[in-house]
Amino acid sequence: MGPNPDPPRATFEQELLAAIEAVHRFAVHLTRDPTRAEDLVQETYLRALAHRDQYQPGTNCRAWLFTICRNAFLKGARHSDREIATGDASLEALAAAGIHAGMAGSDPQGAVFERPELADAIRVALEKLPEEFRTTVVLVDLEDQSYAEAARVMGVPVGTVRSRLFRARRMLQEDLLAYAEDLGLLAPQEDMN
Amino acid sequence: MLSCREVIEQLWDYLDGELPAERMEQIAEHLAECGRCYPQYQFEFKFLEALARQPQTAPRPPRELVERLQRLVSVG
């Protein structure tokens, strides 16, 4: 008896339908507006259907839809030319160590991140990030895309994804820890810088 | 053995599973033995876990939108 044949691959239509929730979440993060997000999701699907010949079966359909979604969003929004400078990724990693060092006396193992009170604060902190940073975190940390996949979605080098991601995580941590401190969930931190 | 600085500089890449297998192993070995780096690993791990839980709290697409897309895809 020969080897089992490959399982049947999901059809293009099945893959599109399975991605609706993820594309909707992504659109909500991009637009920060539920009504605009709905329009953006519909436009994404219209474009995907119109360009179905560009999709390669067996590749990451969600990443392909995220790319279309973001391109449609950027085309509709007046994309700011003024991009925040992206620092060196290694320096950002060391800066994250600085944040952690400031937590040494209060919560060195990050138990505060398990507090349910922080769930809404994370959403708010994400919305405050500039679009390039927000999209990077959403793709990698929320939607589980690799650095390479996120780079393809945004049309930037992998190194840029890495720098933006680390910078965005640092900004989120600073915001969340300050919020947790205000709520009395943490003792005041030492200087983080 | 890697230095603590080398580990900290690559901690995010490690947590994201973005390093070559050999480097992943080296960092895992360091973390298992280092009382300085391991707490930071735990701290960043819990932070990333909190982010990864966000999709569970995200609003679901409205039913009408899903139905509209289903119709679109079926005729597309």
Residue B50: pLDDT band (50, 70, 90) is very high
Whether B50 and A122 have beta carbons less than 8 Å apart is answered as: yes
CATH 1.10.1740.10 fits A12-76, yes or no: yes
Q: Say yes or no for a CB contact (<8 Å) between A100 and B39.
A: yes
Q: Domain A89-182 belongs to what topology?
A: Arc Repressor Mutant, subunit A (1.10.10)
Task: Render the burial of A3-35: b for 16+ CB within 10 Å, e for the rest.
Answer: eeeeeeeeebeebbbebbebbbbbbbbbbeeee
pLDDT in tens, A21-56: 999 999 999 998 888 999 899 989 988 988 888 998
Q: Does B68 touch chain A (CB under 8 A)?
A: yes
- All residues of chain B having their beta carbon less than 8 Å from the beta carbon of residue A114 are 46, 49-50
Q: Say yes or no for a CB contact (<8 Å) between A119 and B54.
A: yes
pLDDT in tens, A80-116: 444 445 567 777 777 778 788 887 778 888 888 999 8
> What pLDDT, on the 0 to 100 scale, is given for residue A1?
44
Kindly report the CATH number that applies to the domain delimited by B4-75. 1.10.10
Reported for A124-131, long-range contacts at CB under 8 A and 24+ positions apart, including other chains, are A125/A171, A125/A172, A125/A175, A125/A176, A125/A179, A126/A29, A126/A172, A126/B54, A127/A29, A127/A32, A128/A175, A129/A168, A129/A171, A129/A172, A130/A83, A130/A84, A131/A30, A131/A79, A131/A80
Q: CA-nearest residue of chain A to B42?
A: A109
Q: Which of A21, A65, A129 to mutate: most B Cβ within 10 Å? A: A21
Q: Which of A20, A46, A142 sits opposite B55 (nearest CB)?
A: A142
Q: Say yes or no for a CB contact (<8 Å) between A24 and B72.
A: no
pTM (2 d.p.): 0.82
ipTM of the complex model: 0.90
What does residue A114 show for φ and ψ, rounded to 5 degrees?
-90, -5
